[in-house]
Amino acid sequence: MKILVINSGSSSIKYQLFSMPQEKILARGLLERIGLSCSVLHHSREGNSELEISKQIRNHHQGLKVVLEVLSHPEYGAVEDIDEIDAVGHRVVHGGEKYTASCLVDDDLVSTVREFCELAPLHNPHNLAGIEACQKLLPSVPQVAVFDTAFHQSIADHAYLYAIPYLYYEKYRVRRYGFHGTSHRYVALRAAQILGQPLTDLRVITCHLGNGCSITAVKGGKSVETSMGFTPLEGLVMGTRSGDLDPAVAFYLMEKLGLSASQMKQILNKKSGLLGVSEVSNDMRDIWKAKEAGNPRADLSLRIFWHRLKKYIGAYAAVMNGLDALIFTAGIGENDCQTREKVCQGMDYLGIEIDKDRNAAIQGEEAVISTDSSRVKVLVVPTNEELMIAQDTYQIAKGKTEGQ
């Protein structure tokens, strides 16, 4: 079965064409600058060098049309005809409380995704544009939505509710939703496979440390706690986001500086985190360079980042009554051995013992980095949200075909 995985952003479409169940990538690409002056498509097919096409592309519909043309191009394509595409899997950020798993796209799903545009304005409208374009261009092909929020729908009410008037939950659905769910689910499943144990027997903490950072407690295969909340602003320190903060800080600054709600939102989302503290960059590699050059604020931003992460690991071990595996993923988690070492330092009380040499040798590959005697296994697992989307889409599309 050939499965096309689509991740549409505000001005971009990322895609991968998989052959399933072999999990083989036949082609992949990135279309950038949709709606801007000069759009560029970078496309590559297995065994072929990268192709770059510059073309004016006005919207997602036009963008996907070009992607489908390239995928079926006689020279660069991976299929002879787009009819060979059996199903499309879409990344969708917000599925609200309704979607607890990946699901076939129907009218109801489209209206839920639209409804949650208000809570995920930077993602859901563009995810929806991708779905609607595919529905028009591939009308008889099943479309599957894979939600970032779905994995966290197993979290109990005492963990997803904020202690504010209940009315705001009832009326406006203000609660913790959690994000990065597809990544947390993928790395937890993969870690269990690497350890040769069923995920249902394990208590796992997954640390997704990219530009956005979140941490999840996975008990018996289900998400029981996660650090991002009503929006992706809560929790860990991120590239430009503050993460946790006394809400009174925002009121104080708004009153003191006469800031509007949207100005405050901008400060907490775009000007805080590693960038805000270091005043160097939101990129971890730049922070390291500055620290090594003796910049004390770069050093401070790192210490705040590590401290927050460590605090959450302890809290989540408490929530699960112990811990069997700790997993690091995404740009920082996969590549930054010093962050992994710092965070694991002084956690022997929990049974975490990192093997410094093993850890230092690992960059961007799957590995166990704890000592053989460590009670808690510590792993690096590169995330692969596209593969998780392809797997879900394959299962759902297969079920649909078999049910026909």
d(CA 252, CA 218): 36
**Closest of 149, 148, 111 to residue 131, by C-alpha:** 111
What single-letter DSSP state applies at residue 201? G
Q: Compute how many other C-beta atoms are within 10 angstroms of the C-beta atom of residue 179.
A: 28
Subset of residues 223 to 262 that bind ligand ADP, contact rule: CB under 6 A: 239
Residue 348 bears catalytic tag: no
d(CA 344, CA 205) in angstroms, rounded, equals 13
Neighbours of 372 (CB within 10 A): 9
How many residues contact ligand ADP, by CB under 6 A? 12
CB of 92 to ligand ADP, least distance (A): 17
Q: Which of 143, 335, 384, 391 binds ligand ADP (CB under 6 A)?
A: 335
Nearer to ligand ADP, 72 or 211 (CB): 211
Per the DSSP assignment, residues forming a β-bridge with 214 are 208
CA distance 278 to 75: 48
Is the distance from CB of 39 to CB of 49 less than 8 angstroms? no
Site membership for ligand ADP, residue 332 (CB under 6 A): yes
Residue of 148, 324, 336, 392 with catalytic role: 148
State which residue, 58 or 285, has the beta carbon closest to ligand ADP. 285
Contact 366, 380 (CB under 8 A): yes
Site map 274..293 versus ligand ADP, x via CB under 6 A? ---------xxx--------
Residue with Cβ nearer ligand ADP (338 or 371): 338
Stretch that binds ligand ADP, among 26-34, 67-75, 205-213, 216-224 (CB under 6 A): 205-213
Per DSSP, the chain holds a count of helices (H) and strands (E) of 15, 14
211 binds ligand ADP (CB under 6 A): yes
Residues 239, 275 contacting (CB under 8 angstroms)? yes
Q: Is 331 in the site for ligand ADP (CB under 6 A)?
A: yes
Q: Which of 210, 229, 235, 276 binds ligand ADP (CB under 6 A)?
A: 210
The nearer residue to ligand ADP, 112 or 329, going by C-beta atoms, is 329
Residues that bind ligand ADP (CB under 6 A): 210-212, 239, 283-285, 330-332, 335-336
Known catalytic residues?
A: 148
